[in-house]
Amino acid sequence: MDFTNPSYLVLIVSLVVGLGGILVRVAMLLGHSAPKDPSPPRVSPFKSIVYAYTIGMLPWKKESARLHKLVYLRGVLLHLGVFTSIVLLWLSLFVDAKSLYGSVAFSPLLGLGFLAGLAAVIVRIADKNLRALNRPDDFISLILVTLIILSAFGYVLSITSREVFWGAASAVLLYLPWSKIPHVAYFFFAKNVFGIYFGRRGVMPAPKKSI
């Protein structure tokens, strides 16, 4: 920890702002009571929630992923790049990640994640239908996330400094409370509600066919 480094101090403030924004949104969600479902449960809600987090996420179980395999793969690589950047950011607060052979451990996922993010940006701009569907925040969020992956990639390869990486991370964190990026928190709410709702109706997991 280097409290004499201005970039470090900006990053810490950005972390407080960004994480605080997510906590506020989560608190707002928790403040809304779930509607009562009068239907009798047909399948254990717990089993349905587990299914939603596991088998239900497989590409062949989702029509949108099954019909658009490359888009699904691009999304997976982008998110892996984001998660790798988060891990690297946490490590960089305490040690120089490059001293941990970071170029070997992190660079493959970061490189692929950046390419996936860049491809997503190009496709959204080039395709008139996607361009019409996306709001400015969609473009800003995607570009910022792609830039943090790129800066993390440059950092572990010693192309850019840790301060550049921290700067990109600070920009994302400061923008986070007002963007679509906190959907990472909504993911868990959505999976739980989805599993419970369809589980009560015996839809997920699908009921066994009687012979």
∠ CA 27-33-35, nearest 5°, is: 145
Structure-token pair, residue 11? 């990053």
CA trace torsion 184, 24, 143, 122 (10° rounding)? 50
Q: How far apart are CA 71 and CA 76, in angstroms?
A: 9
pTM across the whole model: 0.79
**Section 19-41 average pLDDT:** 76
Which residue type does 142 have? L
Class of domain 6-30+59-200: mainly alpha
Q: How far apart are CA 83 and CA 208, in angstroms?
A: 37
Domain boundaries, the chain: 6-30+59-200
Chain segment 94-150, per-residue pLDDT in tens: 877 665 555 677 889 999 999 999 999 999 999 888 888 888 888 999 999 999 999
